[in-house]
Amino acid sequence: MMYLWFVIAGTVAGLCAGLFGVGGGMVIVPALIWILAAYGLPQDIVPHVAVGTALATIILTSISSMSAHHKRGGVRWEIFKHMSKGLVLGSLVGAWVATLIDGASLQAILGGGAVLMAIKMLFFPNKERTDVPLPTPYKQGFAGIIIGLLSAIFGIGGGSLTVPYLSQNGVPMRQAVGTSAACGLPIAIAGALGFVWFGQGDVSQLNLDGLLGFVHIGAFISISIVSFVMAKVGAKLAHTLPAQTLKRAFGMLLMVVGVQLVVSGLL
Round to the nearest angstrom and report the end-to-end CA distance of the chain.
28
What pTM was computed for the model? 0.89
Greater model confidence, 110 or 237: 110
Mean pLDDT of 29-46: 90
Label residue 152 by pLDDT band (50, 70, 90). very high
Rounded to an integer, what distance in angstroms lies between the CA atom of residue 31 and that of residue 216? Answer: 13
Closest alpha carbon to 114 in 266, 254, 248: 254
- Structure confidence at residue 260 (pLDDT): 86
pLDDT at 165 > cutoff 80: yes
- Structure confidence at residue 21 (pLDDT): 59
pLDDT at 247 > cutoff 70: yes
pLDDT at 78 > cutoff 90: yes
The per-residue b/e assignment along 81-96, b for 16 or more CB within 10 angstroms, e otherwise, is ebbbebbbbbbbbbbb
The whole-chain average pLDDT of the chain stands at: 86
- Structure confidence at residue 40 (pLDDT): 86
CB 14 within 8 A of CB 231: yes
Distances, alpha carbon 65 to alpha carbons 4, 14, 25, 39, 185, in Å: 25, 12, 15, 32, 10
Mean pLDDT of 51-76: 86
